[in-house]
Structure 1
Amino acid sequence: MSKSRPASTATGDANQLMRRLGTADAITIGLGSMIGAGIFAVLAPAAHAAGAGLLIGLAIAAVVAYCNATSSARLAARYPASGGSYVYGRERLGKFWGYLAGWSFVTGKTASCAAMALTVGLYAWPQYAHEVAVAAVVALTAVNYAGIKKSAWLTRVIVAVVLAVLAAVVVAAFASDAADPARLGWGSDVTVGGVLQAAGLLFFAFAGYARIATLGEEVRDPARTIPRAIPLALGITLVVYACVAVAVLLVVDPQQLATTSAPLSEAVALAGAGWLEPAVRVGAVVAALGSLLALILGVSRTTLAMARDRHLPGALAAVHPRFGVPHRAEITIGIIVATVAAFADVRAAIGFSSFGVLLYYAVGNASAWTLAPDEGRPARLIPIVGSVGCLVLAFTLPLTSVMAGAAVIAAGALVYVARRLRVGGR
């Protein structure tokens, strides 16, 4: 186990990314990738799994996310390089575990990108959802290509718009005569399995703080910035999610919530504030665009790190001499996401993504366990709860998601083994 490489693994200055992001930028990028996905894409499937028990699932997902965030923050401060748990697993557990984390992240978050692109299409123009999704991917890939600082500014605007829309929804629901606290009660339909499945789905919405860790090579003073930005972004998001989830359940029956494709639009309509529906629809599109923007950015940085180590084609490790971004990785991810978005189903994409990302964080927590006290090790309970929680939530997701995710992860592991045997045989 190596503990001696806290810096970037780039092979030369030409492939180094520039450190231009401060704490506010890092928090904004984290918020942009979290807020929106959970509210506009996951709330209804979570209600389908657990009814009003989704609030318990939200709490469980938040606990697991906090453990993951703490482990990620400690590791990112020590290893401030692009790649997140791919780097941590490689440095603390060995090359295979780092590769497995990176493969889980890239495949899972590629599905996340497709889910967010489809959310844009479903809210903006349902009849042409796939076409709009592809156009969104192309446009935001171009934004990321132009430079990360421009992405951070655009994300800041998106977050402000979405928070304003969500605040309006919460106020309308709480002030409505239709609000009924009895809807928050847990009936016989709330089961342990359903709550855990809801937690696994809702975790999809919390995973945005990984964008901060994967930007470790582009953050100023990472040892100070990353440990501050991750918990702050997570805490803000949890407060927003809790307020919105309670507000929606006050005016929408859990059974009805489970079947609707636009839960927040349904909530304002039942609250007697139908005039807010156009704003909610615009907010959903903007939120999904914000998540997609940050997701493409994060996946391309992990792809960059894996390409540097030749787990992916070395050409993807190139950094643009003018814009300072991994341009080949970004273009490649954009093409793949656009292709998936042209054909995929949004709920299937969410389940598949959750499975891969939960495995990614399981490796991250195991890596944090190996830190020594003088390396910033978190309390021992944190990586334990994080690892166990990730594995439990991953394998209580819908069966189709578990089977598809396990098959893709296994295929990636076989590719790694085959490559090692081929190299070893030379």
Structure 2
Amino acid sequence: MSAATQGSGSPELKGHLSLASVVTFGVSYMAPSLVIVLFGVVASASSGTAPTAFLLATGAMCLTALSYARMARRYPASGSAYVYARRQLGAPVGFLVGWAVLLDYLFLPMMAWLVQSVYLNAQFPAVPVWVWLIVNAVLTTVVNIIGLNFTDRLNKAFTALAVLLVLLFVIYCLIHLAGHRPASYSAPLWNDGTTLAGVSAAAAVAAYSYLGFDAVTTLAEETRDPARTIPRAVVLVVAIGGLLFAGVAYVMQLVHPGGQFANPDIAGYTLSVQVGGQAFADWTNTATIIGGFASGVAVQLSTSRLLYTMGRDGVLPRRVFGILNPRTHSPVRGLLVTAAMAAVGLNISLATATSFVNFGAFLAFTAVNACTIAYYIRHRRTEPGVGALGYLLIPALAACVTIYLLTQLSGTALTIGVCWLCAGLGWLAWITRGFSRPTPEVIAGTEATPPTAAQEPAVTES
């Protein structure tokens, strides 16, 4: 469905992304090499059953992914949770959901650049982190400004290379295991020290690896047949990412049984040295750098689309965010705003930035599950295929999971998140003149689009 424009003749979001392109964006957003980085922390928390924790996290995220898929099929617009909440929970609530998502999306590009810069500094210590931060922000911004087709091709190449390097790491691990036969092939899945509470806690940590699967919904207006393609892409991104994470974690857990590490934070690097030597460990670091660049491109791309959608609607300044470049059809001003967030990265810790991101992401996940339930309540008697299992029970279970993840955040994260929501409420009061006017509406329709018979099998309903 074509989205709103500011007026006749104004440029619209434009593109012809395929299912493969959208899935690649989602996988690159999650960063394939992240499992190597997080392995030590997850294995330590799960008493040496990291793959089980990743599988449990995959299942939990799949529940919410199904809700995103169902909403994306009905509302194939680029605003993601913001659009879904506006249509199902009301325009004011929708704005606050979009505002919360901004806490996630605005800081994720900066986080991607910061992590990338830390790894580059480790590889090239003569260049300070702040220089790498600026270089990364400029490069990804230029790539995204050039246009979606160029970004798509570059993203595919970098993501493929990052995946290949992760698989090369797995091959080295398997070669190592050929000469060091593990005592048990089942211990990485469940062992004498495993407890359900421990695996659940580790899965909550692993769930952070999946942040960004929802970002593919921001590409709806630039995708071929979005009502069919985007729902499939959402589920595929979680499934592919989850299987990759669990498979790599299983092999790593065979190389290093148990959850005891000298330093869990660098366990992946230590294993790289163990299986391939120092030179190979440097190549593993290269995989993280390449994957980080692709992730930065995808993260900034999706952030600019959300800013554009909210600007187009008028809930953010339209002259800043609601305008597309007439030649490239890119939201250049939104891209420049996200690039400016790199300045924040010069003065903020990664832990604090992570707090911002997690609050916005898990609140958005909860809202989308609530939207699916609201859709069931409104359409269960009038629309075939809207069944209690798919639109009520599974979203309710998914909402319980995402609310649990919210409660696991630190007090600092919750405080920052609540303060951000209060700021959004103040902005909403301003643009509605003290709530005396309605929240600015979308300019052209994003009315629900019931799926055709051909589209319905994309996600099994009941």
| TM-score clears 0.5 | yes
Paired with 1:399 and 1:369, the residues of 2 have a C-alpha distance of 29
Q: What is the distance in 2 between the residues matched to 1:417 and 1:74?
A: 31
Question: Which stretch of the first structure deviates more once superposed, 177-186 or 355-364?
Answer: 177-186
Match of residue 100 from structure 2: 104
Q: 1:146 to 1:247 in 2, by over 3 A?
A: same
Cα distance in 2 for residues equivalent to 1:331 and 1:79: 28
Residue pair 2:77, 2:218 contacting (<8 A) in 1 also: yes
Match of 1:130 in 2: 130
1:335 corresponds to: 340
Alignment correspondent of 2:351: 347
Structure 2 contact 23–234 (Cα < 8 Å) conserved: yes
Name the residue aligned to 1:409. 421
CA contact (8 A) 1:365 1:384 kept: yes
Corresponding position of 2:64? 68
Paired position in structure 2 for 1:93:
89
Does the C-alpha gap of structure 1 residues 7 and 205 become closer, same or farther in structure 2, counting only changes over 3 Å? Answer: same
Moved more, 319-328 or 115-124: 115-124
CA–CA distance in structure 2, aligned partners of residues 175 and 410 of structure 1: 54
Which of 284, 288, 301 in structure 1 is aligned with 2:305? 301
For residues 190 and 410 of structure 2, what CA distance do their matches in structure 1 show? 24
How many residues are matched?
Answer: 418
Distance 1:98 1:33, change over 3 A: same
**Which residue is 1:3 aligned to?**
none
Question: Does the alignment pair 1:149 with 2:156?
Answer: no
In structure 2, what residue type is equivalent to 1:63? G
In the alignment, is residue 168 of structure 1 matched against residue 168 of structure 2?
yes
Query: What does residue 452 of structure 2 align with?
Result: none
Amino acid in structure 2 at the alignment position of 1:350: T
Distance 1:170 1:200 in 2: 24
Q: How does 1:44-59 map to 2 (within 5 A)?
A: 44-47=40-43, 49-52=45-48, 54-59=50-55
2:3 is aligned with 1:8: yes
Change over 3 Å in CA distance of 1:356–1:37 after alignment to 2: farther
- 1:316-395 equivalent positions in 2, closer than 5 A: 316-336=321-341, 338-371=342-375, 372=379, 374=383, 377=386, 378-395=390-407
Which deviations, in whole Å up to 9, do the C-alpha atoms of 1:19-54 show, x marking residues without a partner?
321111111111111233632554444445544354
User: Once the two structures are superposed, what CA deviation does each residue of 1:46-93 show, in whole Å capped at 9, x if it has no partner?
Assistant: 445544354444233212321222111221122121110100000111
Tell me whether 1:25 sits opposite 2:21 in the alignment. yes
Give the 3-state SS of the residue equivalent to 1:424 in structure 2: coil
Q: Closer, same or farther in 2 for the Cα pair 1:310/1:93, shift >3 Å?
A: same
Aligned residue for 1:215? 219
CA distance in 2, matches of 1:187, 1:115: 37
Q: Is the 8 A contact 1:307 1:314 kept in 2?
A: yes
> Residues 215 and 272 (structure 1 numbering): CA distance in 2 closer, same or farther, change over 3 Å?
closer
Structure with more of its chain in helix, by fraction? 1
Deviation string 1:258-293 (CA, Å, 9 cap, x unpaired) is 5333x4322122235544212211100011111111
Aligned equivalent of 2:115: 119
Partner Cα separation in structure 1 for residue 233 and residue 106 of structure 2: 24
Distance 2:414 2:204 in 1: 11
> How has the CA–CA distance of structure 1 residues 350 and 175 changed in structure 2, closer, same or farther, with 3 Å as cutoff?
farther
The 1:258–1:69 alpha-carbon spacing in structure 2 relative to 1, beyond 3 Å, is farther
Give the superposition deviation at 1:383: 1.2
Q: Equivalent residue for 1:400?
A: 412
Matches of 2:346 and 2:39, distance apart in 1: 23
Instruction: After superposition, give the CA deviation of every residue in 1:87-112 in whole Å (9 maximum; x if it has no partner).
Output: 00001111122112211221112222
Unmatched tracts of structure 1, length 5 or more: 1-5
Report the Cα offset of residue 183 of structure 1: 6.2
Query: Which residue of structure 2 aligns with residue 83 of structure 1?
Result: 79
Which deviates further from its counterpart, 265-274 or 107-116? 265-274
- The alignment's C-alpha RMSD in Å is 2.7
Name which of structure 1's ranges 297-306 and 363-372 shifts more when overlaid on structure 2. Answer: 363-372
Given residue 131 of structure 1, which amino acid in structure 2 is its aligned partner?
Answer: V
Unaligned runs of 5+ in 2: 439-462
Cα displacement string for residues 187-233 of structure 1 (whole angstroms, at most 9, x for unaligned residues): 769673x6555434322321332221111111111122112222222
